Structure 1
Amino acid sequence: MKLHIVPARTGMAWVKLGIQAFWRQPLALVALFFMTMAAMSLATMIPLVGPAVALALLPSATLAMMVAAAEATQGRFPMPTVLLVAFRTGKQRLRDMLVLGALYAVGFLAVMGLSALLDGGQFAQVYLAGAPLTKEVAQDPAFQRAMYLAMALYLPLSLLFWHAPGLVHWHGVPPVKALFFSGVACVRNMGAFTVYGLGWLGVFLVGGVAVALVSTFLTLAGLDASVAGGIMVGAALILAAMFFTSVVFTFRDCFDAPLPPSPAPEPQTGDEPGPPPSDSN
């Protein structure tokens, strides 16, 4: 495993590659993303520990989308079985992914706990427990301070876990070392990740404006408001799936791929998923 330092313009290439890979298998990738979100939502219903369990599933869900994107890029149809990829590659990898999930849950809950010191837990209740976000709550200075603190603390947490699932799965790196290498890779390639973030911000803004215009036009044309709402939800789902599809390209360019790409787009017969895509930018 070797860390690569990439130029800042690579960040925009990651955005483009993610969008291109998504449109190779759009229905499959949207369905897989929806199923991962549904699984996490169902996990929140577990009494007492539901939110923590849902948080612990996020690294595995991210890995599933990375594997699905790699499959799509190599010409394969990503099957629903990729959702279980973190649990099908041996006891050691399974143990490491479970540890990674537990560390993420602890880190996220710690962020929420620190934010609660500023507003008595209002922001945490809205974010984790689904408490209603009223206008009065949103305008509360304490709530806003807690929100900004949580955002500031979540950034380094996300950098630590950005590459960690891929490092554990494809390179067999232990969880704590994976967090360290992920953080180093993101910091050393901060220029590319800044461009990457700005690029996706632009995509979401353009997509949001387009959907809002279409929804307004349909509403003025006399269609039911629920149709416009469905379009907005569907567009948000597609944009989110596109974003998660692009994550594998950030991993591919920051670290060596463990295996060469498959020579032909044939369905896999084994349980082990393919490596990150290695086509050039």
Structure 2
Amino acid sequence: MKLQLVPARQGAAWVKLGMRTFFKQPLALAGLFFMFLALMSVATMVPLIGLPLAMTLLPAITLGLMAATREATLGKFPMPLILLIGFRSGPVKLRAMLTLGAIYAGGFLCAIGASYLVDGGGFARMYLGGQAPTAEMMGSGTFQAAMWTFIGLHLPLSLLFWHAPALVYWQGLPALKAMFFSIVACLRNFWALTVFALLWMAVMVGVVMLLITSANLFNNPGLANVLLFPGLLLVAAMFFTSLFFTYQDSFEAPTEAPVTPE
């Protein structure tokens, strides 16, 4: 395995590739993304262990979306079972994937727990969907401190896991080694990932502004509320589609990169 360095402009290419690939198989990739959301939602409903369970599953399910993107680039129609490819790739990779999930769940709970200590759980309840944010809450100093505490702890955690599931599956690395190479690759290709993130933020803001402007043109403010949620979900689906390309360009391809389970 060899780390590959890419220029900053490659971040824009990743965004374009994500969009282009999504529109090659829009029904399949959007459907898989909605299945991904459904799996996470069902997991969080499990009493007592719902949130840790969902976070444990997240790396493997994210890998499934990346594998679906790879199938689409090969002109194939990704089937629903591809979401579970991380659990169907042999006992060695399964153990590594579950180890990744357990470490990610522990790190996420530590980050959200630290924010809870800062403001008594206001940010945590809002982030986890249990409480709608209010203007007063958003303007609170303790809420903002809790938010930045979570971001400061979760950002390095995200970099550790950005490429890790793909490295476990396609490169055959053990969990800890995959996390190490993931964060090294993210830091070495920092500017490309920065461009990538900023462009996706711009796309999201652009979609919101387009929907609001369209609603005002039709003199129907409620139209924006109806279209905003599905519009943002489609942007999120395209974002997840583009993740595979950040991995593909950051690492030299192995001799064999199976998409189907061993």
Please indicate the TM-score interval, normalised by the length of the shorter structure: over 0.9
Q: Cα–Cα, structure 1 residues 96 and 21, in superposed 2: closer, same or farther, change >3 Å?
A: same
Q: Deviations over 1:215-234 (max 9, x none)?
A: 3344x25xx93x54332222
Q: Which residue pairs with 2:104 in the alignment?
A: 104
CA contact (8 A) 2:22 2:241 kept: yes
Question: Whole-Å Cα distance in 1 between the matches of residues 226 and 78 of structure 2?
Answer: 26
Worse-matched range after superposition: 146-155 or 21-30: 146-155
The question of whether the paired residues in 2 share the 8 Å contact of 1:11 and 1:196 is answered with yes
Q: Distance in 2 between matches of 1:17 and 1:7?
A: 16
Percent identity, please.
50
Quick one: which amino acid aligns to residue 49 of structure 1? I
Aligned to 1:279: none
Maintained 8 Å contact 2:55/2:104: yes
Q: Identify if the C-alpha distance between structure 1 residues 208 and 33 changes in structure 2 by more than 3 Å, giving closer, same or farther.
A: same
Structure whose residues are more often helix by fraction: 2
* Distance in structure 2 (CA, Å) of the matches to 1:142 and 1:228: 32
TM, length-normalised to structure 2: 0.94
1:149-188 map, 5 Å? 149-188=149-188
**Once superposed, what is the RMSD of the aligned Cα atoms?**
1.9
The amino acid across from 2:112 in the alignment is M
Structure 1 residues 259 and 72 mapped into 2: Cα distance closer, same or farther (>3 Å)?
Answer: farther
Distance change in 2, residues 1:261/1:158 (3 Å): closer
Shift of 1:39: 0.7
State the aligned residue count: 262
Give unmatched runs, 5+ long, in structure 1.
Answer: 263-267, 273-281
- Superposed CA deviations along residues 203-223 of structure 1, whole A, max 9, x for unmatched, are 1121221122223344x25xx
- Match among 223, 241, 246 for residue 242 of structure 2: 246
Is 1:168–1:174's contact at 8 Å kept on the other side of the alignment? yes
Can you give the 5+ residue segments of structure 2 that lack an aligned partner in the other structure? none
Q: TM-score normalised to the size of structure 1? A: 0.88
The residue type paired with residue 47 of structure 1 is P
1:2 aligns with: 2
User: 1:260–1:93: structure 2 CA closer, same or farther, 3 Å change rule?
Assistant: closer
3-state SS of paired residue (2:24): coil
Deviation at 1:63, TM superposition (A): 0.5
